[in-house]
Structure 1
């Protein structure tokens, strides 16, 4: 009797929790109400079956409970019961599947007036591409991807030249305009999902998949990767902004085409050197950094990373937090570079400087040895993006860490953990680092991982002269050039 009561109570609590639960659908913002209706039909059918089956179970537990001197009847077959169960089950399954098949037919039938844009997924961020005036997306291939061609477009394909490139994680679309979303992956399996639009689809390497929807509500909606795609999968987030036609056009006019990226002039080292003169006051003539002035080492850092940070400073994506004193100073200095050409020139010059290495003190006590050993274990998470030797990886948008001053690395990790850096919604990679930094649970963990990074010597991009230090100054560091 007690077991039967418990079963009925569990059913009652489950039903109440279902209707009273705060975890329900987000407000819909697209044309796919049919998907909600299909899910509701499935819930009602499975819910009724759940109640009936458990009610029957409770009845059987009570009706056929143990009684002394009673014997159970053995009935191996009951054709009437089997027929009823088969018919009812078939009707229930058909009632669940039929609406889904109808909706799926609509889901794969794209309206003729739908606009097209492409979503490109890679570990662990999103980027987008729009067709130009010809209305055709150009050819792309993974083997064509490089620092100057991150989308991997074919420069010999004329259809690709007017393609509009959006290397941000934010995409804009027009309200009430059907859009066909082409999906492409650079590396592994990803999944495009926007809960408010009720759409999701896998991005499969080597295959171009698609979906479509019509946005019906203005606003900014989070885009998620709902396929486990690696260590930082949970940080792979983007945004879809639904605009009016006027706001969308204003945004579109600011974007650039593939042809423009091909025609962009290379950085001028001579002009970059003259522009760097003001940077050298803090960062040093050789970009070696200066702890007294809180200026990090720039030598050895890639031009693409330096360019991104300068744009972030100029646009207040970085350095806008009131607690980031040095970031605010850099924001003011970055704005002395008048245009994108000036940024390209100065970053090209910095990237041309010989990479420097920092030689920490030798390990001469057990405490430091244990710290480095702990840091090596913690760095396993960092190595997925930054490389085994902290050399940085362009493919994962991760900068070089090896050779950087320990005090600067520590301050940045502390800023990430405190949301001083990385909290701006347009700081794509900073927001990922904000989440990853919290894997370091305390100050000791930060010190340990930095102690390990300080002893890494990556292969450098340029051949430089190796000079052994005449004197080791512990963690005060003496900069010396090292060979590849």
Structure 2
């Protein structure tokens, strides 16, 4: 009797904790509300099964408890029960998998109008690359990484000369515009994750993974690494600033290109930038 009561209390406590818990998702800031809906469907299905199984166990413990003079009836198998269990389990599993497959298809089907950016992870910082005026990102390879080329852009690729390089600084995105996020790791596994965007993907050395999203509200959001990448993993953080198109364009015009950061003009370019800043001030 005590065990049956404990099982029932576990069910009641779990349901109350789910509905009354102060810990929940952060307010969404992208188009991926579908991911929230998929998780909610999974919660409901697994929650109903969890509740049904524990209440059934509580019933069995109470109904078939030991009583003097009562013998248990042995029933080795029941094909009817097995069919019911197989069908109900199959429907439940399909109900959890189907929404995820639909969302995954949307997740990897990038809109034609989406612009591209690149996120580069390395122990233990985030860097970013945006296309220049040509709208195309140049080639990159770890073999080209150096002090004046931290992201490994190919110096012989003309498409990369005007790429905007943002090393260990904030990433800015315009609100309401779809963007394809290319993900590259320089050293070990990383995972680019902004909780408010919901979207995330592992970054694998030697490969380029991707996802896409459309920021839906302005604000500053923290970037986390969702894959353990070494001793300083908890401190591998950054920021994404989502802003209106005019503010984004003003920020973009202040950034420096790969051509400005590399080659013979690197030092003079820095001097001109400092001089220009001094004149403005």
Question: Which TM bucket (shorter chain)?
Answer: over 0.9
Give the 5 Å matches for 1:345-360. none
The corresponding residue for 1:388 is none
Say how many residue pairs are matched: 275
Query: Hey, what's the Cα distance between the residues in 1 that align with 2:272 and 2:262?
Result: 22
> Offset at 1:211?
0.4
* Counterpart position of 1:36: 36
| Preserved contact between residue 31 and residue 215 of structure 1 (Cα < 8 Å) | yes
Distance 1:249 1:60 in 2: 66
Q: Residue 223 of structure 2: SS of its match in structure 1?
A: strand
Counterpart in 1 of 2:87? 87
1:82-481 paired onto structure 2 within 5 Å: 82-263=82-263, 265=265, 340=274
Asked whether the equivalents of residues 119 and 184 of structure 1 are also in contact (C-alpha less than 8 Å), the reply is: yes
Structure 2 Cα separation of the partners of residues 338 and 210 of structure 1? 36
* Distance in 2 between residues matched to 1:78 and 1:114, nearest whole Å: 56
Contact kept in structure 1, 2:42 and 2:96, CA below 8 Å: yes
What corresponds to 1:46 in structure 2?
46
Question: In the alignment, which residue of structure 2 is the partner of 1:24?
Answer: 24
Alpha-carbon spacing, 1:254–1:266, altered in 2? closer, same or farther (3 Å):
closer
Q: What do residues 228-270 of structure 1 show as CA deviations (whole Å, max 9, x unaligned)?
A: 00010000011111010010011001101111122454669xx
Larger radius of gyration: 1
Task: Give yes or no for contact 2:260–2:266 (8 Å, CA) kept in 1.
Answer: no
Distance in 2 (alpha carbons) for counterparts of 1:91 and 1:177: 38
Give the match's secondary structure for 1:212.
strand
How far apart in 1 are the matches of 2:35 and 2:241?
22
Q: TM-score, with normalisation over the residues of structure 2?
A: 0.94
Assess, with a 3 A threshold, how the Cα gap between structure 1 residues 266 and 223 changes in structure 2: closer, same or farther.
Answer: closer
Structure number with the higher strand fraction is: 2
CA gap 1:198/1:339 in 2 versus in 1, 3 angstroms? closer
- Residue 279 of structure 2 corresponds to none
8 Å CA contact 2:117, 2:129 repeated in 1? yes
Contact map agreement 1:140 1:151 (CA 8 A) in 2: yes
Asked if the contact 1:221–1:239 (Cα under 8 Å) also holds between the matched residues in 2, the reply is yes
The question of whether the paired residues in 1 share the 8 Å contact of 2:170 and 2:239 is answered with: yes
Q: Is the 8 A contact 2:130 2:163 kept in 1?
A: yes
Report the CA distance between 1:73 and its aligned residue. Answer: 2.2
Q: 1:75: Cα distance to partner?
A: 1.5
CA distance change for structure 1 residues 58 and 170 in 2, over 3 Å: closer, same or farther? Answer: same
Aligned-residue offset at 1:338: 9.4
The TM-score, its normalising length taken from structure 1, stands at: 0.55
- 5+ residue gaps, structure 2: 276-281
Aligned residues of 2:170 and 2:238 also touching (Cα < 8 A): yes
Q: Which residue of 2 aligns with 1:60?
A: 60
Relative distance call for 1:266 and 1:112 in structure 2 (3 A) is: closer
Q: Tell me: CA distance 1:48–1:182, structure 2 relative to 1, closer, same or farther (3 Å).
A: same
- Per the alignment, do residues 264 and 255 of structure 1 end up closer, same or farther by CA in structure 2, a change over 3 Å counting? farther
Separation (CA, whole Å) in 2 of partners of 1:217 and 1:264: 41
Q: Which runs of 4+ in 1 moved over 3 A?
A: 263-268, 337-341
Tell whether the 8 Å contact from 1:169 to 1:237 is kept in structure 2 after alignment. no
- Counterpart CA distance in 1 for 2:185 and 2:213 is 20
- Confirm whether residue 7 of structure 1 aligns to residue 7 of structure 2: yes
